[in-house]
Structure 1
Amino acid sequence: MKPMYISQLAFTTGEISPDVSRRFDLDQFKSALLLAENAVIRPYGAVARRQGSEYIGQVKNKDKSTRLFEFTAEKNKSFLLEIGEQYIRVWRNGIYTGIELETPFESDVVDKLNCIQSGDVMFICSGKYPVKTLSRYSDTDWRFDTYKLSEQPYGEVNIDKESTVILNGETLTATKDIFNADMVGSVMQIEHYVKSIATSSIGEVIERREWRIGDRHGGRNTLIGTDYNNINYDVEQFSSDEDLSWKFTSHGTWNGTVKIQISNDGGTTWKDYRVYTSNNDYNVTDTGKVSPSAKLKVVSDLKGGSVNVDLSFLPHVSYGVVEIKEFTDSKHVKVNVLNGVVENEATSKFRFGQWGKGLGYPRVCTFYQDRFILASSNQYPNYIWFSRTGDYSNFGVEKVGGTITDDSAITLPVINRKMYDIRHLIPANDLLILTSGNEWIIDGSKTITPTNCNLRTQTQRGASECEPQYIGNRCVYVQARGCVVRDLGYSYESDNYTGADLTLFVKHLTKYRNFITSAYAQDPDSIVYYVTDDGNIDCLTYIPEQKVYAWSHFTTKGKYKYAESVAEGEQDSLYVIVERDFKSGTVMCIERFEPMYNADNNNVYMDCYIRQTSTENISTITIPHLIGEDVQIVVNGRERPIKEVPPTAIINIDGKAQSVAVGINYTTRLRIPSIEMQIQDGTLQGRVLTMSRLSMNILNSFGGKIGRNFNHMDDISLPPLKLYSGDKACILPKFDGVYSTDASVCIMHEKPYPFNLLSVTREIEIGGGFPNVTGL
C-alpha cells in the first residue's frame, strides 16, 4: 500500500493520561501528547522545552517553612517577598535588597498566610494573630505593623440577667466565671441605660465663664453681660449606636445672645450650633440630636438682664468598650477603657469581641465594593465580616433614628449543615466565596448593605487551601482533597456559576497527589503553575476563550516547594523555592524562570544556574552552591564538557568568553500519540504499521533525539552552532522489527539549548491485518 502522510498540527490539548490514550474519537486527541515533561504548551499550539531556572539565593532558614509573595509597587515594578519564620525579606529583580523585617509568624503559621494588597499596603491574615500590615513608604523604607481597628465586630449580647459586670477604676468584676487568660488583648462592649443628664444655671453673678456639657453633677450659674459659665460634663466618655437627643431651655429676662456650640474633635475646635437672641422678650425651648462623640457648650454675650439655662441629654443607651489587659481570675480582669463606660453600675448587657487569642483571628481577607472583608477564624470558621464602606478599620454598626445605616459594617454567617469553613474570597462582578464543601456568591449587581447582602449557593464541591487564580472572568481553583482543578464562571443558560473539571484527561498527573500552592503568569503564555506535594510542578496553559486547557509538568534534581509569579517589565517571571540535595548538603534555593521568548537564545536551559556576562574576557566563574556537583557549562552560547565543581567553587574558563552560564541539566521528554483514520477497509486500530520517517516543523531549536521509544533514539541532525527554524526530516531508528501497532513518536532533549516543536507529519504504511497472536 502506498505511504500515507498524517499530520498533527498543534499540541494545545497537552499531556493526557493513559486512560484516554486511545480515545481517537475525542476532538482533544487531535492535539494531544502522551508525555510533556519539562515542557510548556504555547497558546498558539507549539510545545517547547521549558526555560531553565536561575539561582538567585537561598532562604534564610532551610529547615523552616518559607513562602513567596508578590508585592506590586507600580506599573512594571514589583517586589518578591520571602516570608519565613518570624521574618520578611524583600527581593527585587532577582536580587536581595538587604531589607529584613521581624514578624511573629511561626513556621506553621507561615504555611497558612493569606494576603491582599491595597496601594502600598499589604494586609496579612494568619488566623493566629491580629491582621498585620506591610507598608512600603519607599524602596528602602518598609514597615511591619498590627492593623489598628477603630471598632471590632461583637458576638451576641449576654442574655443571663444574673451574670453582670461592674467597672471600678480599671478593674472589671463579674458575678459569674466569664473570663479566661486567653482573653487578654480582646475587647468587650458594655451596655448601660443612661438616664437624663442635665446641667443648669441659676442666680448668682460670676466672672467670665462658659457652660460646657461635662459633669453629670454640674452646678447652676447665671450669665450676665459678657460673662459666660462653665459646666464640665464630657459626652466623649460615652458611646452610643444612635445619635443623642438634647434639650435646651432658658429662663429670665435678658438682652443679648446665647449660643450652643459644638465640637466634633474632642473640644479642640468649636463652631456655632444654635444661636438665640432676646431683647428682654424671649426665652428658648429647643431640642435636637448630635453624634454620640460630640461635645456641646453654652456661650453668652449679654447686654443686660440675667438668664438661667437648662441643657440636658435625654435618656439613651450607652455602649462602652474596654480592652482586657490583664487576667486576674475568672471573675476579675484589668482593663483599658477605650470608650466611656459608666462606673459603679452593674449591667448584664455585655458582649465580647469576635476576635482574640482564644477565639482566633481572621484567616482570609480581600476588598470588595470599597469594604475591607475578613473571614474565617477558629471560633467562627463560616463567618464573613465587612468593614464600613470606605472605612477599612471600622467594623462597627451605626444607627440613625434607630435604623442601621447602609454604610455600616456587616457580620454575615455562611450557614450550611456541615459548617464548612471559608477558605477563599474572590472579588469579581460578584463576591465568590469558596468553602471546604461548597461555593457561594454574594450578588454584586447592587451595592452591598446590611439589608442587601444575600448569599446564594452555587455548587457543592468545595475548595482546597491551594490559592485560586482569577483569570479573565473565571476562577480556577483546586477542589477539596487537592487533586482536581476546576474553573468557575457565570453561565447565562443556567443563571448560575458552574465550570468544568480541567484535570479530566490528566488523572495520571493528579492521582494520589495534592496541589499545595499555585502561581499564575499571565504573560506571555497564560500559564497556571501548581506545586505538588511530591515536589513537581504541573503546568496548565489556560485560555478558555480559545478552549485551550493544556497540561505539562516540570521535574528537577530536587523538589519544588513553592512558586510565585512576579511582574517584571512587560512579562511575568516565575520564582520557585527548590529543595536540592547536593553533595555539600541540603539547600533551599530561590530560583527564577525567566519568561519564554520567541528569540530563545536569550534563555538558559539549565537549572540552578549562574550566568555572568562581561565586555571583557571572563576567565573564572564562582558557584559555591554547586560544590561537588557535575555541571553543564555554556560559553558564548556553546556547550563545554561537563565538569565537577571543585571545593574552591571556582571553574576556570578556557579561551575568550563574554558570556558564561553554569548549572545542572534537566531532560525534556515528549511523546506524541499514535494515529487513527478511517480507511477503505475500516480502521487503523490494531493493524500493523510501519513508520520509518517523519517530518518535524521546529522553531529556534538545536539538539535533541528522536525515536519510537526512549530506549532507542537517534540524534536530530541540525546545522551546527545556530538555532534552526523550518522543516526537518528524520529517519526513525529501527528496533524489534519493522512493523508495530503503535505509531507514537518520542523526542528527548537534555542539552542546554531550546527546542520548539510546531507540528509533526508521519509517513505511514499499513502492513496488513492484526499481528499474529499466539497462546490461544
Structure 2
Amino acid sequence: MTTLYPVQDTFVRGEISPRLHARASLDLYRAALSKCENFVTLPHGGIRKRGGTIFVGEVKNAAKTTRGIPFIFSSEQAYCLEFGDFYIRVYAYGARVGTVEIASPYAEADLFDLAYLQSADQMWISHKDYPLKVLTRTAHTTWTLKDYEFDDGPYDAINDTSTTLTPADYGSLTPAMTGLISPSGTVTSTSAAADAWEAFDKDVGTDVEWSGVTSGFVGYQQAGGAQVIVDAYYVTATDSVNVGRQPVSWKIEGSNDGSTWTALDSQTGQSGWSGGETRYYEFFNKAAFEYHRFRWLSVNGQGSSQFAEVTMNKAAASQTPFNLTASSIIGINDDAGFQNSDIGRAVRLLGSDGRWRWAKIISRTSATVVTIQLYGHALPDLSPITRWRLGTFVPGKYVESGSLHEERLAFSRRFSVYASATGDFDNFALGEKDDAALEFVQAGGGQANDIVWIADSDGALLIGTSGGIRALSGSGIDEALTPSSFKNRNSRTFGCARIRPVAAGQSFLYVTRSRKSIAELVQTSVNKFTSDDIGQISEHIPKQGVVELAFQTDPDPVLWFPLENGELGGYTHQPSQDVRGMHRHHLGGAFTGSEWAIVESAVVTPGQNGADDIWLFVKRTLSGVTKRTIEIMTAPFEYGGLDDAFQVDCGLTYSGAAVNAVSGLDHLDGESVDVLAGGKVYKALPVAAGQVALPGGAVASKWQVGLGYHCEANTLELDVGGRDGSIIGRRKKVAKVMLSLLETDTSGLEVQSFLRGRWEKVRMPSIVAPDGRATLFTGNVEVPIDDSWEGQGRVKIRHVNPTPCTIRAFTPVFDAEP
C-alpha cells in the first residue's frame, strides 16, 4: 500500500453537481466540493463560514409572503423596502424608518412579478396588471406612491375607421370672439381698434390691420376676473399680399391689474413669413393672470401692422374640461366604445391645421362621450377629427418592465419598447428629432417572444425575452439611439425568466426561462453578447427554482438567490481570477415540513461600514407559530476579536455592563439559542419571556445570541494518480486529515469519514484558555480519522459553534490499493 498526501488548496468551484463527482480529469475537479453548506467560497481559494443574520423586525403580516426591494439613492443613503399585501414599509441600516407605511395596490400574489427601476429619489414600479406607479422619497420619513402620468404618449396605431371624434371646445384662452365683448371677456388693443376681436375669432380668413402702426398690442381680459395660465400660443400671418406687415418680434405678457405686466415669452427675428403661415411656440409658465396680451415690437418692414390670428392656449390646469364625442364605438377598445378604465388615458388628435395635439380623458359619460383636458396648443376649430390615436397603457396593456438608457426612460410591454424624449422622462410623444421619444414594435426580434426585462448596458439597451437577449442601440459605433439611427441585434443567448437581472462587474447575470439555471451575459464586441450557463457545473442548486437575484460586491463578489425550496443559494463570482463557485445556505431554525428556515426574498444595499448589507426575508415556525422576519446577514468575520464574531441567525447583540441575562428576544420565545458571551460558547439555552440567562450565574459584557447553525464541507474523491493509472474507484482508507486554518475556533471543528458515523473533534487543548474562553487559531492541525477500507478517501468537515471558521486547504492522508 502507498500512503498518499493529495492537497486541495482551493475550493473556488464550490459545490459541484453529483453528475460530476467522477470527472476527476476536469480542471475544476481539484477545486470543488461535493457539499458546501453555510460556507462561502472565497476568491483567495479557501472557504469561510458565512456571517450570521441580525434580527431587524417582524413583517407586518406573518401569514402572508413579503418581498424586499432595494431603494438606493447613493452609497450613503440606502433603504430596503418591505413590499407586502397592499402596503410598503421602509427600513434603513438595520431598523425600520419611523412608522412609515405606504398604501399600495399590489396584492400578495403579484409581489414577485413587480419590476422596478430607480433614479435618485424616484422609483418606477411596473406590473402588467397595474398602472405604472412612481414611489418618491421627499425626506427620510416622507414617501409617496402615485400613478405615473405619461405626457403625450405612447399611443396605439392611428385610427383607420370611419369613426370621428368631435371636440366641444378649443382649449384656448378665448372663445371664438364675435365682437369686442362677445360672447364673453373683453378684447382691447392699440388705438382701440373696433375689429381687434378678429385676432381671436378662430377664422384665418379674417385679419386685423393697424394702419401706420409698427408696434402695439392686442389683448384679452377674462370675464368675471378669472385668472388662467397660458403656456403656449400660435400666430397666423395674413395673406400673401400683406405679409410684409407681419410682426417679427413680440412679447406675450400677463397682468392681474391691467397696468403691471409680466413677460411670459418673447421672440425676435421671426421673419420670412409666407401668406397664411402659422408658427407655434411653447414656454414654461405656472402663473395665472386675468389679462393676457400679444405686444409686437416691430414688423416685417412696411409701415403698418397686420396679422390673422393669435391663439393662446389655456393650460390644462386652468381649463374647464370639455366633451369629446365619437361618431360611433367602432375602433374604440375593440369596438366596445369608451370604458371607465379609459379615465386617465391619453388621446392624440390631429387638428385641421395638420398639427397633433394630445389630451387626457378626465371622465366618461357613455361609450361615445368622454370629457377631456387638452395639453399643448389649442385646437384651430371644432370640426370632426378623423385621425386620432388612443393611449397604449390601459388594463391588459400596462408596462411590464423598465430601464434608464442614454438619458431616456424606457419601458416594455409584450413585444414593444417605449423610450421617452432625451432628458424629459414624462414625454413619450414620437418625433423625428434625435432627442424625440422612440417606439419599437417587435423589439424582441422576429419571433413573437414576450419581453420580460430591459436593462441598460454600455452602448445598448438590453432586451431580455423568453426566446433570448437582443441589444437595441444606435446604428453605428458609439452612435446614440435615435428615431433615425437604431439597430436591433440578436445574440447567442438563452431565453429569460421574468426575474430582474443584475450587473456583476463586466457582465450581467440573469435567470433562464426555466428558472432552473443562471446565465452570464458577456459583451464580446460592440453591442454583441454571448451567454454561458454559470451554474452548469452546479446545476442541482439552481434547479430547485430561482426566485430572484441580488448581487453583493463588498467585501466579496457574491450573487445571492433564494430558491423555491427555501434554501439561499450563493455564487462567488470573480471571472478574472477564474473564481466561480456555488454554495448553499440553510438558515438556523426551521419551517414546518422543512429542515431549515425558508428564505423568501433577498436584497443587497450598501452598508454603513463599507460592506454591503444582505437583507433576508425569512419564514420560520417558532414555538409552533409561523413567523416572518427581516434579517441582515452580517459581514463575514475577519481580522477581529472573537467577541465581535456574529455567527448566529435571527440574533441580537448585547454590549454593556456585565450581566447574567439579556432580554429583547421575544421573537424567539420558546426556542433554544446559541450564545457567544464573554468569549465562551453556550449551546441550546432556552428563551423564556424574551430573556435568556447564562448557566451557573456567569456574566458577560458582550453577547451574541440567536439560533444556531452549522456549516459543512464534503470533499470529493481526489485522484493523485496511481502507478498504472487513476485511483478513482479503488479502495482507500483515510488515516488522518490535515487542515490549514485561519482565525478558526477549533473547538467547534469536527471531521468524519464518509463511512464511519462518528464525528472526530479537533483536540487542541493549548488553544483553550484556562478560564474556558475559546481562542482563534491560525495554522495547521491534524485530525485522526476512523475510516474503513471500503471508503473513497472522502471526508466531511463541519463547524458547529457560533464562532468563526475559515479553511484554507485540506489534505487527506490515506492508503490506497496499488
Q: Which TM-score bucket, shorter chain as reference? A: 0.7 to 0.9
Aligned equivalent of 1:650: 691
For the 8 Å contact 1:113–1:125, the answer to whether it is kept is yes
- Once the two structures are overlaid, the 10-residue window that deviates more, 310-319 or 678-687, is 310-319
Instruction: Label 1:316 to 1:618 Cα distance change in 2 as closer, same or farther (>3 A).
Output: farther
Aligned equivalent of 2:561: 530
Find 1:465's aligned residue among 471, 484, 498: 498
Q: Offset at 1:528? A: 0.3
CA distance in 1, matches of 2:714, 2:270: 89
Q: Is 2:397 aligned against 1:360?
A: yes
SS in 1 for 2:109: helix
- Consecutive unaligned residues in structure 2, runs of 5 or more: 172-179, 181-186, 223-228, 256-261, 284-291, 312-351, 591-596, 769-773
For the 8 Å contact 1:519–1:565, the answer to whether it is kept is yes
Aligned equivalent of 2:134: 133
Quick one: percent identity of the two aligned structures? 20
* TM-score normalised by structure 1 residue count: 0.84
Instruction: Label 1:213 to 1:45 Cα distance change in 2 as closer, same or farther (>3 A).
Output: farther
For the 8 Å contact 2:198–2:308, the answer to whether it is kept is no
For the 8 Å contact 1:355–1:361, the answer to whether it is kept is yes
CA distance in 2, matches of 1:301, 1:345: 34
Q: Offset at 1:285? A: 7.8
SS in 1 for 2:491: strand
Q: Is 2:747 aligned against 1:712?
A: no
For the 8 Å contact 2:736–2:813, the answer to whether it is kept is yes
Q: Is 2:307 aligned against 1:310?
A: yes
SS in 1 for 2:131: coil
Q: Offset at 1:209? A: 11
CA distance in 2, matches of 1:391, 1:216: 32
SS in 2 for 1:508: coil
Q: Is 2:464 aligned against 1:421?
A: no
Aligned equivalent of 1:384: 417
Q: Offset at 1:535? A: 0.6
- Amino acid aligned to 1:409: A
Aligned residue runs from structure 1 range 104-123, under 5 A = 104-123=105-124
Instruction: Label 1:449 to 1:204 Cα distance change in 2 as closer, same or farther (>3 A).
Output: closer
- Consecutive unaligned residues in structure 1, runs of 5 or more: 171-189, 191-198, 277-282, 399-403, 769-776
Q: Is 2:488 aligned against 1:455?
A: yes
CA distance in 2, matches of 1:487, 1:253: 67
Q: Is 2:594 aligned against 1:563?
A: no
- Once the two structures are overlaid, the 10-residue window that deviates more, 58-67 or 425-434, is 58-67
> 1:294-313 deviations in whole A, cap 9, x for unaligned?
799354799xx994623358
CA distance in 2, matches of 1:229, 1:368: 46
Find 1:746's aligned residue among 784, 796, 799: 796
CA distance in 1, matches of 2:368, 2:676: 74
Q: Is 2:717 aligned against 1:674?
A: yes
Aligned equivalent of 1:540: 571
Q: Is 2:148 aligned against 1:158?
A: no
Aligned residue runs from structure 1 range 175-574, under 5 A = 206=192, 213-217=199-203, 220=208, 222=210, 228=216, 230=218, 246-247=237-238, 260-263=249-252, 268-273=263-268, 290-293=279-282, 297=294, 299=296, 307=304, 309-311=306-308, 316-339=353-376, 340-341=378-379, 344-356=382-394, 358-376=395-413, 381-398=414-431, 404-413=432-441, 414=443, 416-429=445-458, 430-443=460-473, 445-459=478-492, 461-492=494-525, 496-511=528-543, 513-556=544-587, 557=590, 558-569=597-608, 570-574=610-614
CA distance in 2, matches of 1:441, 1:48: 39
CA distance in 2, matches of 1:352, 1:233: 35
SS in 2 for 1:481: coil
> 1:394-432 deviations in whole A, cap 9, x for unaligned?
11134xxxxx11111000121545421111212111221
Instruction: Label 1:715 to 1:343 Cα distance change in 2 as closer, same or farther (>3 A).
Output: same
CA distance in 2, matches of 1:52, 1:682: 45
Q: Offset at 1:31? A: 0.7
Q: Offset at 1:219? A: 6.9
For the 8 Å contact 2:38–2:583, the answer to whether it is kept is yes
SS in 2 for 1:109: helix
Instruction: Label 1:253 to 1:679 Cα distance change in 2 as closer, same or farther (>3 A).
Output: closer
For the 8 Å contact 1:239–1:318, the answer to whether it is kept is no
CA distance in 2, matches of 1:69, 1:611: 26
For the 8 Å contact 2:69–2:80, the answer to whether it is kept is yes
For the 8 Å contact 2:550–2:559, the answer to whether it is kept is yes
Q: Offset at 1:604? A: 1.5
SS in 2 for 1:505: helix
CA distance in 2, matches of 1:364, 1:587: 32
RMSD: 3.7
For the 8 Å contact 2:430–2:439, the answer to whether it is kept is no
Q: Offset at 1:684? A: 1.2
Find 1:722's aligned residue among 755, 767, 775: 775
CA distance in 1, matches of 2:513, 2:790: 43
Aligned residue runs from structure 1 range 592-603, under 5 A = 592-599=632-639, 601=642, 602-603=644-645
Aligned equivalent of 2:94: 94
SS in 1 for 2:540: helix
CA distance in 2, matches of 1:219, 1:233: 20
Q: Offset at 1:615? A: 4.2
> 1:572-598 deviations in whole A, cap 9, x for unaligned?
121100011111511110011011132
- Amino acid aligned to 1:488: L
SS in 2 for 1:329: coil
- Amino acid aligned to 1:121: Q
Aligned length, in residue pairs: 712
Q: Offset at 1:148? A: 3.3
For the 8 Å contact 1:238–1:341, the answer to whether it is kept is no
Q: Offset at 1:43? A: 0.9
Instruction: Label 1:351 to 1:615 Cα distance change in 2 as closer, same or farther (>3 A).
Output: same
> 1:103-135 deviations in whole A, cap 9, x for unaligned?
222223322222222122222223333332222
Instruction: Label 1:123 to 1:227 Cα distance change in 2 as closer, same or farther (>3 A).
Output: closer
CA distance in 2, matches of 1:212, 1:102: 53
> 1:716-752 deviations in whole A, cap 9, x for unaligned?
2232210111000110124xx4x13500111122221
CA distance in 1, matches of 2:734, 2:422: 69
- Once the two structures are overlaid, the 10-residue window that deviates more, 11-20 or 630-639, is 630-639
SS in 1 for 2:495: coil
Aligned residue runs from structure 1 range 601-640, under 5 A = 601=642, 602-615=644-657, 617=659, 619-640=661-682
CA distance in 1, matches of 2:198, 2:807: 84
SS in 2 for 1:131: strand
Instruction: Label 1:287 to 1:637 Cα distance change in 2 as closer, same or farther (>3 A).
Output: farther
Aligned equivalent of 2:706: 663
CA distance in 2, matches of 1:656, 1:328: 76
Q: Offset at 1:325? A: 2.7
